[in-house]
Structure 1
Amino acid sequence: MGLNYIPSCSLLFISWLQDHLLPCPFKYITGIDCPGCGFQRSMVALLKGDIRQSFLLYPPAIPLLIISAWWLADSLFKLDTPKNVVKKTMFIVVALIITVSYIVKMARL
């Protein structure tokens, strides 16, 4: 097991992940994309290192990862103020990004 083993394992994992994405129940029932449709494919693109493709598939993916990392760090190290100003601001910004990207996606259909 040399250094070549690790990249091949990660490629196998990414390939497996692409074949086992969860279907969207909202889209299955209504035939319309939900505000989260594209997130899984976007994460697979990020795992492959393709930031551009990840953004094109689901623009809120990277901001969602950033806010998730912040929440984890805040829960461990108490980074935010008592009024949670940073957390609330980040939540509002991410919610706006999700809303705007969903409206743009629906307008294109």
Structure 2
Amino acid sequence: MAIEDYMLSCPNKKLFGMECFGCGSQRALLLISEGKFVEAFYMFPAIYPLILFVLVSAINFIDKKRHYGKAMIFWALVSVITMIISYFCKNF
């Protein structure tokens, strides 16, 4: 069995026929793990800001001496804005 067989399907797409804000994120992570970085961006454009957000959040959790709140807010906003733009580009 391939890893694609274990991926979750989107209930929003099944019920309403429209992709949700996170559709493509699993496939984009798989493409990144295969070294297909451009294809991952086309699959889910918010993948790179989300990865940076997770990394900054992890650093914030580990490094208690410094505060990374502004960086976390920045990458969260970039991720959300990218997800909203890609949602409307895919569905409308």
Aligned pairs (5 A) from 1:82-93: 84-93=69-78
2:49, 2:79 within 8 Å by CA — same for their partners in 1? yes
Aligned residues: 91
Whether 1:80 aligns to 2:70 is no
Alpha-carbon RMSD: 1.4
SS at match of 2:41: helix
Which has the larger Rg?
1
Whether 1:47 aligns to 2:33 is yes
Find the partner of 1:29 among 4, 15, 19.
15
TM-score, with length taken from structure 2: 0.89
How far off its partner does 1:86 sit? 1.8
**Structure 2 residues not aligned, in runs of 5+:** none
Find the partner of 2:43 among 44, 57, 60.
57
Partner of 2:53: 67
Q: Distance in 1 between matches of 2:74 and 2:44?
A: 21
How far off its partner does 1:26 sit? 1.1
Q: % of aligned pairs identical?
A: 24
Kindly indicate whether structure 1 or structure 2 has the higher relative contact order, using CA contacts under 8 Å at least 6 residues apart. 2
Q: Distance in 2 between matches of 1:96 and 1:89?
A: 11
Partner of 2:4: 18
How far off its partner does 1:80 sit? 2.2
1:80, 1:87 within 8 Å by CA — same for their partners in 2? no
Partner of 1:104: 89
Superposed structure 1 runs of 4+ greater than 3 Å apart: none
Q: Distance in 2 between matches of 1:26 and 1:105?
A: 14
